[in-house]
Chain A
Amino acid sequence: MKRILPILALLLLHVSAWGQAPDRRHITPVQPSTNTTLPPARGTDEEVIKRFLSGDTLAAAEEARRDSLRRAYKRYPLLTDLTVGLNFVDLPLMAFGQDYASVDFHATLNLWNRLQPVLEMGLGWASSTPDDMNYTYHGRPSPYFKLGANYNFLYKSEPRYQAVLGLRLCYSPLRYRVTDVAYRNGYWDEDLTFDIDSQSSHALWGEAVAGLRVDIWRQWSLGWTIRYHAMFSYGSSQSGRPWFIPGYGPRKGNLGFTFSVAYTLPLHRATAPSHE
């Protein structure tokens, strides 16, 4: 019996302690070396720090998450840069026998290094006397205009590397004439030469654009685009239809190509913010 009494006493104590468990306080021991306020990560937004210090920990944690995302995925300023360039690819091609050329200046405003409104203005002309044909086509120097936008798929990268897709709406008022037409009617034995005097026309078309641009030296860059053309309308008359359309190329073609040299003007001090 003397042996059992201490065991019963211990059991009673244990049951008593279990009954009081819900009211027991848990205390996490703190070692003196860790009982310090950790400084926020470098680059943490000041607003986040203030929220932590104010005690609103849930809002502060959410803000901290957003802040870290902002720092991981950089966002460029609204006005990132402005690029002006010259598309001149047809000039060397004319030296190799191409009968037409379109040369244009273009200006591209880079918004957030992502969306890029583009304006292109240029001049196109043609002079063609095909070997096996009976005419000379003169496309008089005529203007063309293209308005549209690009989307830069390398928006997380520095603006000097760009891979873009874009759309353009294009218009050209143009003039042409056809001279030295040799006409022969074998049955009636007629041989004539005639001209088709100056004709006015116009063309409205759209372009889907894909291109690359990389820097080559300081603010200078080279870039190309390949373009799919879709003709919406063009002017024809009793005397014919234009063969060459400035900015478009031969009317029956669907593909275009540009190669340009460009200069970029940064519009913001932190155009290419670095990771902290």
Chain B
Amino acid sequence: MKPSAPLLRMATLLVPVLLGAAACTDGACYDNGSALPLVRFYASGTTTQVSVDGLTICGIDAPGDSLLVDSTATSEVYLPLRATTNTCQWVFIYPGIAGDADTLTLNYRPIAYFAGAECGAMYNFELTSVSVTDNVIDSVQVVKPLIDNGTDVALRLFFPTL
């Protein structure tokens, strides 16, 4: 079989140009841009997700005492962690229960992490210990000790049901 030399030559020279023009990537990050622990609320002793009405959440020593959640019905929340320290504390304030609030304390180790071209570089956090006061909250459970930019639940907070 004798191949068509002009055709082969044309294919050899033109295909690279066409492929170069067609090359592309979508460049999207389908995870979070930062590593944030997702905390989800459950009824005590169950795996039933619950919502806490009028909940307020703020970080201790947050600049300007800024609120993360302000009197909102909440069933889950992302808690940003500080990369310059090894501890973060969060206060949970409930409506109509004056003076009763809970404090969630997270101890961790920040780890510089390159998540990829699309999501960039960030800090991951390896949880070393977790504690919570029990004024309203029953208990806390660590589901995922390494906090990355994924969307999985990291902590479960159990609330008593009325």
List the interface of chain A (C-beta within 8 A of B): 89, 93, 128, 130, 133-135, 137, 154, 156-157, 161, 163, 178, 181, 183, 185-190, 192, 194-196, 212-214, 216, 222-224, 226, 238-241, 243, 250-253, 255, 257, 259
Residues of A within 8 A of B101 (CB): none
CB distance A187 to B80 under 8 Å?
yes
Q: How far is the CB of B90 from chain A (nearest CB, A)?
A: 11
Size bin of chain B's contact surface: 35 or more
Across the interface, do A243 and B80 meet the contact criterion of CB distance under 8 Å?
A: no
- Whether A212 touches B8, Cβ cut-off 8 Å, given contacts A183-B123, A250-B25, A257-B16, is yes
Residues A214 and B115 in contact, CB atoms below 8 Å apart: no
Q: Decide: A89 and B12 in contact? CB cutoff 8 A.
A: no
Beta-carbon nearest neighbor of B124 in chain A: A238
Question: Which residues of B have CB within 8 Å of A183?
Answer: 83, 121-123
Which residues of B (76-127) have their CB < 8 Å from a CB of A?
80, 82-84, 111-117, 120-124
Per-position contact with A for B56-89: 1 when CB-CB < 8 Å, else 0? 0001001100101000000000001011100000
- Which of A183, A222, A257 gathers most chain B CB within 10 Å? A183
A84 to B61, alpha carbons, bound, how many Å? 66
Quote the shortest CB–CB distance from A131 to chain B (angstroms): 10
Most buried by A among B5, B8, B25: B8
| Majority DSSP secondary structure for residues of A touching B | strand
**Residue in A134, A189, A238 whose beta carbon sits within 8 Å of that of B120 in the complex:** A134
CA distance A276 to B13 in the complex (A): 34
The answer to whether B5 touches A161, judged by C-beta atoms less than 8 angstroms apart, is yes
Q: Give the distance in Å from the alpha carbon of A164 to the alpha carbon of B111 in the complex.
A: 47
Question: Do B12 and A196 touch (CB < 8 A)?
Answer: no
Q: Is the CB of B82 within 8 A of A188?
A: yes
User: In the bound complex, what is the Cα–Cα distance between A48 and B29 (angstroms)?
Assistant: 72
In the complex where A183-B83, A223-B12 touch, is A257 in contact with B19 (Cβ < 8 A)?
A: yes
- Are the C-beta atoms of A185 and B25 separated by less than 8 Å? no
**Chain A: CB-nearest residue to B19:** A257
Contacts of B25 in A (CB 8 A): 250, 252-253
**Which residues of B lie under 8 Å from residue A239 when comparing CB positions?**
111-114
A and B contact pairs by CB, cutoff 8 A, 25 listed: A137-B114, A154-B1, A156-B1, A181-B120, A181-B121, A181-B122, A185-B83, A187-B80, A188-B59, A196-B113, A212-B8, A212-B11, A214-B5, A214-B9, A216-B9, A224-B15, A224-B16, A226-B15, A239-B112, A239-B114, A243-B117, A250-B25, A251-B116, A252-B25, A257-B23
Q: Is the CB of A252 within 8 A of B111?
A: no
The 3 A-B pairs at the shortest CB distance, nearest first, are namely A240-B114, A181-B121, A135-B121
B34 within 8 A of A: yes
Contact check, A250 vs B12: say whether CB atoms are below 8 A apart: no
Establish whether residues A214 and B68, one from each chain, have CB atoms under 8 Å apart when the complex forms: no
Q: Are B34 and A185 neighbours in the complex by a CB distance under 8 Å?
A: yes
A135 near B3 with CB under 8 A, answer no
A241 CB, min distance to chain B CBs, angstroms: 7
CA A190 to CA B62, docked complex, whole Å: 11
- Once the chains are docked, how many angstroms separate the CA of A128 from the CA of B27? 14
Q: Which residue of B lies closest to A184 (CB)?
A: B34
Which residues from chain A contact B66 at a C-beta distance below 8 Å?
187
Please tell me which one of the listed residues B3, B12, B113, B122 contacts residue A157 in the complex, with CB atoms under 8 A apart: B3
